[in-house]
Structure 1
Amino acid sequence: MGTIKVLLVEDDPMVREVNRQFIERVEGFEVIAMAANGVEGFQKIQELKPDLVVIDIFMPEQNGIETLQKIRQEQLLVDVISVTAANEMPTIQHMLHLGVYDYIMKPFTFQRMEQTLQNYKQFKRKKDTIQDITQQDLDELLQKYRNADEESQPDEAVLDLPKGFNRATLDKVLAYLKQAKQGASADEVAAAIGVARVTARRYLDFMEKRDLIKVDIQYGSVGRPINQYYV
């Protein structure tokens, strides 16, 4: 199997560039074009015939759902991965019903993107090479698809999360800390990912004990010291 050609559809220029770099860090993938909205993205799908489209949902002119509906209506043979901040269950269900290979919520780690792309590469290899498929072949193909989320992990192996912990929240905390060059406090993490401070502190303490992150205690002239967490 040759290089997998990817079209990236994302309206935010900075996010678009970060996503491009993430995708091209994975061996066997090349971003052949980028689009700033669904209208432009749909035109490039027709013109360039990529293997895979990585698409946002919230975009001007034509959003990701409308674009994916057009792709299916026109029966364009392209696979789609959604990368978006949309976390409403009706939106997620709509995209899944329209046949996305995976649904990645922002913010996310490089490892989350890498795992999905590696799974997709294996999925595509089997799909493109098997002619007369057996039930066993089909089971293996679909199982790999279903397990894409389950196999994704943060930078270091976290085998068992404590009761009440959620891996998606863990990934969000890690993703935020990675882009916080000077580290961040529990208050800053909580505000950035939309959780209570006590929740952020629980995740930060857990990850610090597992050596996923480090903590630096900063003493000011007045008041209590502040813990700054960083990767």
Structure 2
Amino acid sequence: MNPIDLVLVEDDPMVMEVNEGFVKRIGGFRICGKAKTGKGALELIQELRPHLVILDIYLPDCNGIQILREIRRQGIPTDIILITAAQDVATVQAGLHFGIVDYIIKPFKFERIEAALNNYRSYAEQFRNRGEMNQEDLDRLIKILPSQESYYRKSREPLPKGLREITLQQVYNFLKERQVGLSAEEVAEGAGLARVTARRYLEYLEKIDQVLLETQYGSVGRPINKYKIVL
């Protein structure tokens, strides 16, 4: 498969450099443009029509959601991954409404953006050289995000102190995508979280009956706790 054309949009030069290094390290993507303002980003996207844009929300001249809205208004078929410090539900919902393919919260680890880009590469490959798709193909391709009611309403109580809704959804979605039992260490690495943070969210999801805890015993060493999503 040819490299996927990608545009980076980030106003912080140091973060831009880090993101660029991550993309090059992962491979399979060609950075065809970079922008540090919303105006510059929109001009690049209109000119280059890249497959993918990694877009920050907090830009000096506008909000990244405005760029996303304008891209959709113009009918530009570019996919968007939001990388941002914004964690409020309204912003997350706005991004999902305009069809983002992923949402990564700053600060993040390399493994999180690696997973996002690898998932996108697999997604793009599904459309290569296809004239049509059957239901089985679509069922494999489409990932339906769980509604917040799936666990918040069942708990019927506010989140414990120190837990955040967006991070809880991130952990839940990561488990749902894999559909296999994973340890807290595996979830932490895949979701770009600290190990102790991942364990706290997993324990809460188990408490409200959204994940099952499976203890695996090996021939030597301590038993390993694996968490699996309840479908």
Aligned-partner residue type, residue 138 of structure 2: L
Partner of 1:194: none
Task: Measure, in 1, the Cα distance between the counterparts of 2:103 and 2:77.
Answer: 19
Quick check: 1:107–1:172 contact (8 Å CA) kept in 2? no
Partner of 2:46: 46
Quick check: 2:109–2:192 contact (8 Å CA) kept in 1? yes
Partner of 2:110: 110
Aligned-partner residue type, residue 46 of structure 2: Q
TM-score (norm: length of structure 2): 0.66
Partner of 1:130: 130
**Could you tell me the percent identity over the aligned residues?**
38
The alpha carbon displacement at 1:13 in A equals 0.7
The alpha carbon displacement at 1:160 in A equals 2.7
Quick check: 1:37–1:63 contact (8 Å CA) kept in 2? no
Partner of 2:83: 83
Partner of 1:93: 93
Q: Secondary structure at the match of 2:127?
A: helix
The alpha carbon displacement at 1:61 in A equals 1.0
Quick check: 2:111–2:192 contact (8 Å CA) kept in 1? no
Task: Measure, in 1, the Cα distance between the counterparts of 2:31 and 2:5.
Answer: 6
Point out where structure 2 has 5 or more consecutive residues left out of the alignment. 147-169, 201-221, 223-231
Does the C-alpha gap of structure 1 residues 78 and 159 become closer, same or farther in structure 2, counting only changes over 3 Å? same
Task: Measure, in 2, the Cα distance between the counterparts of 1:32 and 1:146.
Answer: 30
The alpha carbon displacement at 1:55 in A equals 0.2
Task: Measure, in 2, the Cα distance between the counterparts of 1:4 and 1:61.
Answer: 28
> RMSD of the TM alignment (CA)?
3.1
- Confirm or deny that 1:150 pairs with 2:171: no
The alpha carbon displacement at 1:128 in A equals 2.9
Task: Measure, in 2, the Cα distance between the counterparts of 1:10 and 1:48.
Answer: 17
The alpha carbon displacement at 1:140 in A equals 0.9
Task: Measure, in 2, the Cα distance between the counterparts of 1:18 and 1:11.
Answer: 12
TM-score (norm: length of structure 1): 0.66
Q: Which has the larger radius of gyration?
A: 1
Please give the per-residue CA displacement for 1:4-40, whole angstroms capped at 9, x wherever unaligned.
0110001111001101111111121121111001110
Task: Measure, in 1, the Cα distance between the counterparts of 2:130 and 2:116.
Answer: 21
Q: 5 Å matches for 1:190-229?
A: none
Point out where structure 1 has 5 or more consecutive residues left out of the alignment. 153-157, 175-198, 204-208, 210-231
Aligned-partner residue type, residue 19 of structure 2: N
Aligned-partner residue type, residue 96 of structure 2: L
Please give the per-residue CA displacement for 1:175-215, whole angstroms capped at 9, x wherever unaligned.
xxxxxxxxxxxxxxxxxxxxxxxx87x98xxxxx9xxxxxx
The total of aligned residue pairs comes to: 171
The structure 1 segments of at least 4 consecutive aligned residues displaced by more than 6 Å after TM superposition are: none
- Confirm or deny that 1:171 pairs with 2:192: yes
Task: Measure, in 1, the Cα distance between the counterparts of 2:130 and 2:62.
Answer: 36
Please give the per-residue CA displacement for 1:58-109, whole angstroms capped at 9, x wherever unaligned.
1111221000000000000111000001011111111111100000001111
Q: Secondary structure at the match of 2:7?
A: strand
- Confirm or deny that 1:160 pairs with 2:180: no
- Confirm or deny that 1:74 pairs with 2:98: no
Aligned-partner residue type, residue 171 of structure 1: G
